[in-house]
Amino acid sequence: MSDYNHKDIEKKWQNHWESHKTFQTNGDKTKPKYYVLDMFPYPSGAGLHVGHPLGYIATDIVARFKKAKGFNVLHPMGFDAFGLPAEQYAIQTGQHPAITTNTNTARYVEQLKNIGLGYDWDRMVRTCDPDYYKWTQWIFCQLFESYFDKQTNKAEPINKLIAHIEKQGSKGISAACNEVTHEISATDWSGFSESEKENFLQQYRLAFLSEGVVNWCPDMGTVLANEEVKDGFSVRGGFPVQLKKMLQWSLRITAYADRLLEGLDKLNWPEAVKEMQRNWIGKSIGAELNFDVVSRNPNKPADLKIKVFTTRVDTTFGVTFISLAPESEMLELIVEESHKDEVKKYVSWAKNRSERERMSEVKTISGVPTGAFAINPFNGEKIPVWIADYVLAGYGTGAVMAVPSSDVRDYAFAKHFNLPIIPIQEGKNTDISQPDFEAKAGTMINSDFLNGLSVPEAIQKAVAFVEEKGFGLGRTNYRLRNAIFTRQRYWGEPIPVYFENGVPKLLPENQLPLTLPDVDQYKPTETGEPPLARAKEWKYDGKYNFELSTMPGWAGSSWYFLRYMDPKNSQSLASQEALDYWQQVDLYVGGAEHATGHLLYSRFWQKFLFDIGIVKFDEPFKKLVNQGMIQGRSNFVYRIKGTKRFVSFHQKDRFETSPLHVDVNIVDNDILNIEQFRLWRPDLADAEFELEPDGNYVCGAEVEKMSKSLYNVVNPDTIVERYGADTLRVYEMFLGPLEQFKPWNTNGIEGVNKFLKRFWRLFYDENGKWKVTQEEPNPAELKILHKTIKKIESDINALSFNTSAAAFMVCVNELTSLKSSKKAILEPFAITLAPFAPHICEELWEKMGHTESISLEPFPAWNDQFIVENTFDYPISINGKVRTKISFAVDKPAKEIEDEVIASEVLQKWLEGKPPKKVIVVPNRIVNVVM
């Protein structure tokens, strides 16, 4: 064999790695560890497209490199295997989603192996395997058995809370809990029935049942979490979503809001992702302020107060009205008789507007007065209470104190309804159109005891005043909501809870996992119950009903990185030893679309597992990198309207044409293969083509999302078949920076393939004869070798693989032009290239007489001595413009040459007695002479 035959080579080495278990993580715990992880994929029926492996190739290079640098590397892969598409397929066909999932998983594994990715497949996990979800359920049980103590700032066993209540009632409890709560005494507690006790505890548990407004998607028959909904439609499937009140399990992630926020500062993550999480958590510090209500409504309790949340207590003297959300439960108590009809009309109109309408009509101002008034606690002024739909029921208290002079929305509302505006900040514009309208600038005016203070001073003083007078309390508000944890679906983890006389109880630990029952159909029942209700015999102890909802998709993915550490363990989610050794993920690579979903939930679970002593680190991912999406590059042909004639790209403007997507797989370098086109579209088999002068039909191109319907999906298998996995790997890296979004474009792939062929030809001549010699290398060869090793090492550490690919090409070009085929150079070079193009390197390594795999070789060290230039051209510029160069003979790295030496030589060699004003010497770079 003498030609570079990628097909044979790649098959051979992939088999070798598999049978020799080359990438099995070994047990050598004396080595330093390195854990490099990809976000595991959902195995969809479409298989991998060429965009998916981008991150996988990057981590594979890092993993192989770290291994060669002497690390014990954990580099696993698995599947987020519960999910909607398999279930929807099951509903349509009646085929069990497990079968679909198995087929798809197998296909993914095969595709990934085809690319030569060195995963430790023995550690594969799938979230839908009962051995795995046993521990997902176990974590749920721990959440159920815990509450969050604000004093210790961590999760504690619920028994600790019970002990407290038994002793002194609910007094003195400082725990994260539901909004609505009432004080109970120890005697109350002991008199409670079991179900009353449980109802009370549910307010504190970290996994709890509660009735709340949820995102209900009727088309999917399930509730969705906030981040699964965008613009009033489901992210998956794009079905309309409405708000509905339902009893659901939730996880109390809000308890961890502060820790999730603070933890971000220590993480080596992209700033954008951290910022998204900060915004998602949405912490705002302010105060709650109570306004007394004046109303002739007979239902109004004497001491009724409107509670508002504000971040600007200092503006209280500028309040000119109060706005309530249309959903406010207080309305019945305060609306005056004279306003009842109008309010009723408005509220029902507001409620019937869909989320979407509300969203798109943000700019329209609407509201009605209630007839009631409120008393400003600061100055006793009587101000009207309005209802306005710009106030959100779900945020803060659902009521705002309106300060038109410092809030744009209040301002717009006041202008629209002719309500008064009181300026309270001197030296600041009170005109909405001015840029500093909302600025916290200027000094306070019209504000009694706050007059003359700056805004920050005034806030401080006002908060103190409020608390002292008992008008309200300092309060921190979060945008983050508790995470709804139930989905009315089949293909998910069953929730390990049964109901005994209506009281939710955990399945005993020794009975986990609670496996999915078989059902005859996978859709909801006719009465609207979840699919699990179809399993009539599915009961705990033969009599108690199980919870019929399953867990959401993110449950299993919130902890899978821990399972890889010890994937077969049946006693615990992973052994203590494994958890302690592997610690955290050192490098995590995946898409930015998980910023507020998966990445936030994983941090939450990790913090919880840290609190209960399972893991020793409260952050799961030390360094995160978002690989950019690879977009599709669609091709078009141009059809002359009303005909079956197509004109080439450059002619299209001469006719009235309409573009038509054409399968990119029958287009090469934008040139259409007309014969294949006729086969692809039999209906257009008799079409005519107007060609370019060179006889080709040139297609137009556009960057779009890679999608089946746009005929721009490129399958990695096609590329592997044609050019080989090594070419695909190097090419994907060469395409551009890892983080960048870029269109897939095969225009350059030939160049990479050519590079590998040239690399091969350093070993074999054109007649297929082995030409590697034992000669001693010369300085020129050593220089290019060591430069390359140095560059590759620093590139991999910086994840800058696109420039590594270029460095390899330079090296091959130089060795080729040096006609160098010396073993002493080619051996270390092959090891350096192996993480990128492992198959070809393995093959040539073997040909060089080695019996062990190149993947087991240590990464070569580079030596600066070989890189030093013998002579060094020093550019000299006059007034910033390069005029000439002088050469120095050097015996040490240019960097170490003293500035003064060069400066004086410059003067001697060049200026000869004409002293310049200034000589500036920059080490290793340039001398600038100012004349």
Choosing from 282, 442, 517, 700, the residue that interacts with RNA (CB under 7 A) is 282
- Residue 358 binds to RNA (criterion: CB under 7 A): yes
Instruction: Choose the binding region for RNA from 465-473, 720-728, 738-746, 859-867 (rule: CB under 7 A).
Output: 738-746
- Residue 930 binds to RNA (criterion: CB under 7 A): yes
In the complex with RNA, the residue whose CB is nearer, 106 or 392, is: 392
Instruction: Choose the binding region for RNA from 212-220, 537-545, 683-691, 876-884 (rule: CB under 7 A).
Output: 876-884
d(CA 93, CA 81): 19
- Token pair belonging to 900: 């003064």
Per-residue buried b or exposed e for 390-405, using 16+ beta carbons within 10 Å of the residue's own CB: bbebebbbbbbbbbbb
Choosing from 48, 139, 143, 391, the residue that interacts with RNA (CB under 7 A) is 391
- Residue 265 binds to RNA (criterion: CB under 7 A): no
Q: How far is the CB of 465 from RNA (least distance, A)?
A: 17
Please report, as residue ranges, which positions from 877 to 896 form the binding site for RNA (by CB under 7 A).
877, 879-880, 882, 885
- Residue 810 binds to RNA (criterion: CB under 7 A): yes
Query: How many chain residues touch RNA (CB under 7 A)?
Result: 82
- Residue 925 binds to RNA (criterion: CB under 7 A): yes
Task: State the distance between the two ends of the chain, measured CA to CA, in whole angstroms.
Answer: 66
Choosing from 92, 193, 515, 669, the residue that interacts with RNA (CB under 7 A) is 669
- Residue 474 binds to RNA (criterion: CB under 7 A): no
Instruction: Choose the binding region for RNA from 19-27, 60-68, 195-203, 277-285 (rule: CB under 7 A).
Output: 277-285
- Reported in sequence order, the residue ranges of 461-572 that DSSP labels E, i.e. its strands, are 472-477, 483-484, 497-500, 503-506, 539-540, 544-546
Q: How far is the CB of 697 from RNA (least distance, A)?
A: 14
- Residue 735 binds to RNA (criterion: CB under 7 A): yes
Choosing from 11, 31, 167, 230, the residue that interacts with RNA (CB under 7 A) is 230
Strands 742-743 and 630-640 turn out to be parallel
**Best CA proximity match to 207, nearest among 551, 618, 548:** 551
- Residue 404 binds to RNA (criterion: CB under 7 A): no
Q: How many CA atoms does the CB half-sphere of 189 hold within 13 Å? A: 19
Choosing from 275, 577, 675, 688, the residue that interacts with RNA (CB under 7 A) is 275
Please state at what angle helix 598-611 crosses helix 130-144, rounded to 10 degrees: 70
Please report, as residue ranges, which positions from 592 to 651 form the binding site for RNA (by CB under 7 A).
592-593, 596
d(CA 602, CA 594): 11
Instruction: Choose the binding region for RNA from 22-30, 274-282, 495-503, 715-723 (rule: CB under 7 A).
Output: 274-282
- Token pair belonging to 828: 């270390």
- Token pair belonging to 155: 């999760």
Choosing from 71, 395, 417, 888, the residue that interacts with RNA (CB under 7 A) is 395
d(CA 123, CA 120): 6
d(CA 657, CA 642): 9
- Residue 747 binds to RNA (criterion: CB under 7 A): yes
Q: Are 325 and 243 in contact (CB under 8 A)?
A: no
- Residue 476 binds to RNA (criterion: CB under 7 A): no
Residue 668 has a CB neighbour count (10 Å cut-off) of 14
Choosing from 159, 379, 797, 813, the residue that interacts with RNA (CB under 7 A) is 813
- Residue 591 binds to RNA (criterion: CB under 7 A): no
- Token pair belonging to 735: 């395409």
Q: How far is the CB of 579 from RNA (least distance, A)?
A: 33
Q: How far is the CB of 800 from RNA (least distance, A)?
A: 6
- Residue 479 binds to RNA (criterion: CB under 7 A): yes
Choosing from 362, 613, 695, 709, the residue that interacts with RNA (CB under 7 A) is 362
Q: Are 659 and 638 in contact (CB under 8 A)?
A: yes
Q: How far is the CB of 428 from RNA (least distance, A)?
A: 16
ω before 513 within 30° of 0 (cis)? yes
Biggest CA pair distance of the chain: 107
- Residue 456 binds to RNA (criterion: CB under 7 A): no
In the complex with RNA, the residue whose CB is nearer, 84 or 308, is: 308
Q: How far is the CB of 690 from RNA (least distance, A)?
A: 19
Q: How far is the CB of 420 from RNA (least distance, A)?
A: 17
Long-range pairs for 614-619: beta carbons < 8 A, 24 or more residues apart: 614/573, 614/579, 615/562, 615/579, 616/579, 616/580, 616/583, 617/583, 617/584, 618/259, 618/263, 619/263, 619/266, 619/267, 619/584
DSSP annotation of 651 = G
Choosing from 752, 826, 834, 902, the residue that interacts with RNA (CB under 7 A) is 752
Residue 791 has a CB neighbour count (10 Å cut-off) of 20
- Residue 920 binds to RNA (criterion: CB under 7 A): yes
- Residue 236 binds to RNA (criterion: CB under 7 A): no
In the complex with RNA, the residue whose CB is nearer, 276 or 907, is: 276
Q: How far is the CB of 554 from RNA (least distance, A)?
A: 15
- Residue 685 binds to RNA (criterion: CB under 7 A): no
Per-residue buried b or exposed e for 240-269, using 16+ beta carbons within 10 Å of the residue's own CB: ebebeeeebbbbbbbbbbebbbebbeebeb
Q: How far is the CB of 882 from RNA (least distance, A)?
A: 5
One-letter amino acid for residue 268 of the chain: N
Please report, as residue ranges, which positions from 549 to 588 form the binding site for RNA (by CB under 7 A).
none
Please report, as residue ranges, which positions from 96 to 155 form the binding site for RNA (by CB under 7 A).
none
Instruction: Choose the binding region for RNA from 145-153, 523-531, 829-837, 874-882 (rule: CB under 7 A).
Output: 874-882
d(CA 894, CA 898): 9
Please report, as residue ranges, which positions from 304 to 343 form the binding site for RNA (by CB under 7 A).
309-312, 325
Choosing from 802, 888, 893, 909, the residue that interacts with RNA (CB under 7 A) is 802
- Residue 928 binds to RNA (criterion: CB under 7 A): yes
